[in-house]
Amino acid sequence: MLAWHQAAASNPTQPEQARCIAHTWAPPLQEHADYDGPALRWGLTHKLASAAQCCQACKKLSQKQPDGSRCNVWVYCPSPTGECWSPDIWNHTTGECWLKYQEGWDGVTDREKTNLAVNRRGAYPPEFRAVHTTAPEMVAWVAGVFPPT
C-alpha cells in the first residue's frame, strides 16, 4: 500500500477518508492504474492533498446528477516527483483528482470479471514505450471505484 493510504487509515482525525478508501473496492484501490470515463471534475483544476480526499470527493458526487451521471470512478496523481505521465498533451501534476463516470460499467468489483474500462494498468509495454519515449516504466496514477448502491 502507498504511504498516504496507511497514514489516512491510521489517523483518527481522518476517519471518513479512511472509510472512503477502505470501502471503495476490495482491495480498496489499484496502484499503477488509470481508469477510463468522461470527467465530471477536470483533474487539471481539481487538486487535492491525497487519494483519500479524491476518493471522498467522488463519494460526494456518487448520487445521480440531473443529467443521469454520477461519480463511480476516480483517478489520482500521488507522484512524489511532481508529475504523472499520460499519453495526452497535458502536463499532469501531483494532486490531480479526476472524478469520472462510466455509464456502462456493470458495478462488478471483481477485477477479473468486471467490464470496467481501464486506460492503462501496471507496466507500460516495451512497444508502447518505444513509441512514447517519455513514458515511465509504470503507470503513475492510482484509481478506485464506487459501485452502484
User: Residue 5, Cα to own-chain centre: how many angstroms?
Assistant: 13
Residue whose grid cell is 468486471: 114
DSSP string, 25-74: SSSS-EESEEE---EEE-GGG-B-S-HHHHHHHHHHT-SPPTTS----EE
**Residue from 101, 103, 79, 99 nearest 91 by CA:** 79
Write down the pLDDT at residue 6.
Answer: 34
Write down the pLDDT at residue 68.
Answer: 86
Write down the pLDDT at residue 129.
Answer: 96
Write down the pLDDT at residue 26.
Answer: 47
Q: How are the residues of the chain apportioned to helix, strand and coil, as percentages rounded to the nearest 5?
A: 25, 20, 55
* Burial of 84 per CB tally in 10 Å (0-12, 13-18, 19+): buried
- Angstrom CA distances, 124 to 32, 60, 81, stand at 10, 32, 18
Write down the pLDDT at residue 28.
Answer: 63
* Residue-by-residue pLDDT tens, the chain, 149 positions: 343 333 343 343 445 555 565 444 445 688 999 999 999 999 999 999 999 899 999 989 988 888 889 999 999 999 999 999 999 999 999 999 999 999 999 988 888 899 999 999 999 999 999 999 999 999 999 999 888 76
According to DSSP, the β-strands at 30-31 and 73-76 are unpaired
Tell me the one-letter amino acid at 53.
Answer: Q
98, 102, 103, 107: CA torsion to nearest 10: -120
pTM equals 0.83
- Residues near 94 by Cβ (< 8 Å), separated by ≥ 6? 77, 78, 79, 80, 81, 82, 83, 84
